[in-house]
């Protein structure tokens, strides 16, 4: 006879379509009544801002799945910063940091600006197009490829592959999701291996060339090189494109905010902070305890999985007054969003991501008078992540 632990409960219904579409009423209840609880699968779930901020940075938490956890499709990136802890994580992270300084990211984002200008130049006023793909994914992918030294094509198969891989991270993902993710990773790996073969025949001066040199010197393994480049190449357009798409949708539905963004450049940074807070592309992160923890009297033993819901923390009304609203005048020193994660595993590409968003939106402010929605967006959302599949929009260009 199976005995159900009464301390386990499902406060956040991961598979409920209503929850996936709009989780915020459930977050409100979780923060209020169950700030830390044990889910039906045994995972401890944390939702309040102060708790995520305090405990999410705990040095003893590990990103590495224990040996008893089945190896899923994401094992394809086990040799990257997503699959290792310090000190190896620190060593691998430094490789990327060299290529994503603020100065270099500004240079790479010139490619994003070029892509936006070229695409807008070919549009007619009122013409319906997919703003996510051509103003979000494409420009972000171009900027990342400039950094890596890879060709700038293939952004459509890259982003659709990422959709499949992200779905496998859902709390309710099944064997079919994992199979689709494994096939997507196989495509990504094959594409990167082909580009590396081309690099060996015709070297350049990008990050890929630098990693190949480290492999030749014995500083990196072949898998470390390939998987690191898989991570950056495939994900380069994923998260920033969602922020760009969310911004464009927000501007189309709130033209008064677009007017502020265009005409008051000093408020642009505040908008970008708020759009990241309100619409994070990744909604949570999970870690494993290596030491006992206690949160609000809840004892968490070694070897337990803890999930931090950054999407709930970002809208905690105890920290962000008018938590569900776009507030462009939050006071200086106000709490920051958590959309790039935290601790040693915070997003390795956050500088280039933010620079791409600033560059794309700034270029659009120069070129576009207004955006208009031309239908409802098609989304690829789960309890774990969000992405646009299609964002139908038209524009009216600014007069010269």
User: Model confidence over 275-291: pLDDT tens digits?
Assistant: 999 999 999 999 999 99
Mean pLDDT value across residues 78-85 = 90
Mean pLDDT value across residues 308-314 = 97
pLDDT band at 241 (very low <50, low <70, confident <90, very high): very high
pLDDT at 192: 97
Average predicted confidence (pLDDT) for the chain: 93
337 compared with 197, residue with greater pLDDT: 197
Q: Which of 266, 286, 228 is nearest to 100 (CA)?
A: 228
pLDDT at 5: 55
Sorted by where each starts, the structural domains of the chain and their CATH numbers stand as: 17-397 (1.10.630.10)
pLDDT band at 3 (very low <50, low <70, confident <90, very high): very low
Candidate from 57-61, 93-97, 261-265 with smallest mean pLDDT:
93-97
Mean pLDDT value across residues 102-113 = 96
pLDDT at 349: 76
CB 45 within 8 A of CB 33: no
Above 80 in pLDDT, residue 386?
Answer: yes
**How far is it, in rounded angstroms, from Cα 102 to Cα 208?**
19
Above 80 in pLDDT, residue 232?
Answer: yes
**How far is it, in rounded angstroms, from Cα 56 to Cα 306?**
9
CB 391 within 8 A of CB 248: yes
Mean pLDDT value across residues 207-223 = 96
Above 50 in pLDDT, residue 125?
Answer: yes
pLDDT at 95: 82
Candidate from 103-107, 224-228, 347-351 with smallest mean pLDDT:
347-351
Mean pLDDT value across residues 146-165 = 94
Above 90 in pLDDT, residue 381?
Answer: yes
pLDDT at 7: 67
Mean pLDDT value across residues 124-146 = 97
pLDDT at 398: 93
pLDDT at 4: 40
pLDDT band at 127 (very low <50, low <70, confident <90, very high): very high
Mean pLDDT value across residues 154-179 = 94
pLDDT at 6: 55
pTM of the model: 0.95
pLDDT band at 8 (very low <50, low <70, confident <90, very high): confident
């Amino acid at each position: 006879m199976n005995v159900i632990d009464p301390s386990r409960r499902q406060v956040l219904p991961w598979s409920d379509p209503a929850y996936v579409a709009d989780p915020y009423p459930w977050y409100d209840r979780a923060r209020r009544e169950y700030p830390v609880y044990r889910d039906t699968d045994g995972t401890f779930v944390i939702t309040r801002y102060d708790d995520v901020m305090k405990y999410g940075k705990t040095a003893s938490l590990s990103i590495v799945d224990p040996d008893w956890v089945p190896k899923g499709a994401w094992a394809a990136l086990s040799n990257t910063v997503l699959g290792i802890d310090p000190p190896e994580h620190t060593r691998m992270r430094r490789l990327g940091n060299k290529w994503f300084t603020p100065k270099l990211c500004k240079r790479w984002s010139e490619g994003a600006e070029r892509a936006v200008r070229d695409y807008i130049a070919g549009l007619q006023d009122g013409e319906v197009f997919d703003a996510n793909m051509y103003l979000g994914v494409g420009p972000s992918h171009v900027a990342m490829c400039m950094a890596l030294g890879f060709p700038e094509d293939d952004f459509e198969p890259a982003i659709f592959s990422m959709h499949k891989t992200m779905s496998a991270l859902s709390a309710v993902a099944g064997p079919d999701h994992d199979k689709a993710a494994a096939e997507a990773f196989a495509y990504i790996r094959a594409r990167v291996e082909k580009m590396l073969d081309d690099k060996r025949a015709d070297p350049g001066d990008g990050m890929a060339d630098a990693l190949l040199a480290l492999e030749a010197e014995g500083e990196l393994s072949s898998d470390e090189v390939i998987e690191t480049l898989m991570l950056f190449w495939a994900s380069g357009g994923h998260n920033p494109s969602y922020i760009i798409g969310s911004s464009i949708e927000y501007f189309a539905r709130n033209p008064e905010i677009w007017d502020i963004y265009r005409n008051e450049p000093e408020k642009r940074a505040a908008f970008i902070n708020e759009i990241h807070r309100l619409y994070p592309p990744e909604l949570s992160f999970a870690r494993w305890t290596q030491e006992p923890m206690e949160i609000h009297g809840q004892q968490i033993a070694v070897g337990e999985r803890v999930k931090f819901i950054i999407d709930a923390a970002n809208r905690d009304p105890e920290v962000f007054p008018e938590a569900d609203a776009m507030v462009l005048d939050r006071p200086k020193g106000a709490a920051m969003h958590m959309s790039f994660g935290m601790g040693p595993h915070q997003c390795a590409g956050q500088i280039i991501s933010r620079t791409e968003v600033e560059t794309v939106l700034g270029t659009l402010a120069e070129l576009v008078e207004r955006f208009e929605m031309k239908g409802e967006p098609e989304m690829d959302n789960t309890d774990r992540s969000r992405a646009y599949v299609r964002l139908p929009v038209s524009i009216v260009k600014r007069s010269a």
